[in-house]
Amino acid sequence: MLKYIVRRLILAIPVLLGVSVLAFLIISAAPGDFLDAYRMNPSITRDQLRLLERQFGLDQNVFVQYFKWLGNVLTGNFGYSFTYRVPVFNLVWRRLGATLLLSITTMIFTWGIAIPLGIYSALHQYSLSDQTFSFLAFIGISIPNFFFALLWLFMSAKTGWFPIGGLISQNFNDLSFFGKIGDYLWHVVGPMVTLGTSGLAGLMRQMRGQLLDQLRQDYVLFARAKGMPEKNVIYKHAVRNAINPIVTIFGYALSGLLGGAVLTETVFGWPGMGRLVIEALNAQDLFLVMATLLLSAVLLVIGNLLADLMLAWVDPRIRFRLG
């Protein structure tokens, strides 16, 4: 299995290289560059703009720029952000905590609710509770995130039950250790529920559908016929078979852990990666965009690998083999 993992990782190198070439070319092909905001500044002269172009290396051919960047990356230097003037991974690092806090709690919230509800709905197909859960989940998926976020903030402002956005309270520094943890959790509820509700329906319906499929299979009929306890039939056989595609989805979800969610983050004032990336894209902060894109690509590769490993674990029929 170790050999398999190593081979998969080696195969990832050309994938990442390809991603970097494409990303670099597409960003460069977009009209304008980082200095456009400077160009519209009435106090900056044309000579100064030429000087800045040289300083940022934007006066060079895109291929020269790419290979320079690649050379630096191979020595571990991912470049400086044009906007912030600090190494790009310092910026990513600063946002990591808040991003993971939100994405992991959201994941726990979504998966923790969707999977049991999906199973429950499948076992009680067309019952009132199945219909109710589906209905609620679809309300969640139909309300746009930014609107749900605004509703949540409005509710918080009116009732005072939750904070009006943000990551921590104004008196955070005076809190005890557990107080601080509680403060983080109190603040994460809003964005977590906003993001969680929108992903709930899809996952729940998937689980429900898969399980229903399995329950109609002959082996379930056989197991029941031979008098196996219903619990065993469902949880040892049907669910285990139904979970297969869900594991693949889980692998993809892992790659989104660091992606962030722009609209929800913006409304809640959550200092996550999504806002960093969207601001970098708008400003055409080349190296920062490249770093975050590469990071997502790496996570996608790893997420896929983990998903495959987990598949083999839940499904003994799958063997490690590279075609």
Element (H, E) at 94: helix 88-123
Instruction: Select the residue interacting with other proteins from 8, 16, 28, 33 (CB under 8 A).
Output: 33
In 112-260, where do the E strands start and end? none
Which DSSP category does 172 fall into? G
Q: Which is nearer to other proteins, 212 or 281 (CB)?
A: 281
Residue from 73, 136, 150, 249 touching other proteins (CB under 8 A): that is 150
**Binding positions for other proteins, 277-296, rule CB under 8 A:** 279, 282, 284
How many whole angstroms separate alpha carbon 186 and alpha carbon 176?
Answer: 15
When asked if residue 43 is in the footprint of other proteins (CB under 8 A), the reply is yes
Tokens standing for residue 256: 């989104």
Whichever of 150 and 314 has its CB closer to other proteins, that residue is: 150
Task: Decide: is 41 part of the binding site for other proteins (CB under 8 A).
Answer: yes
Give the number of other Cβ atoms within 10 Å of residue 272's Cβ: 27
| Contacting residue, 267, 300, 301, 311, with other proteins by CB under 8 A | 267
For residue 215, give every residue at least 6 positions away whose Cβ sits within 8 Å of its Cβ, in sequence order, or none: 122, 234, 238
Given a contact cutoff of 8 angstroms between Cβ atoms, the answer to whether 320 and 4 are in contact is: yes
Binding of other proteins at residue 61 (CB under 8 A)? no
Work out whether 122 is an interface residue with other proteins (CB under 8 A).
no
Residue found by looking up tokens 């799958």 in the block? 318
- Closer of 75 and 282 to other proteins (Cβ): 282
The distance in angstroms from the start CA to the end CA of the chain is 15
Stretch that binds other proteins, among 3-11, 36-44, 66-74, 174-182 (CB under 8 A): 36-44
Q: Which residues bind other proteins (CB under 8 A)?
A: 30-33, 36-49, 51-52, 55, 80, 83-86, 90, 94-95, 98, 150, 153-154, 157, 164-168, 170, 265-272, 275, 279, 282, 284
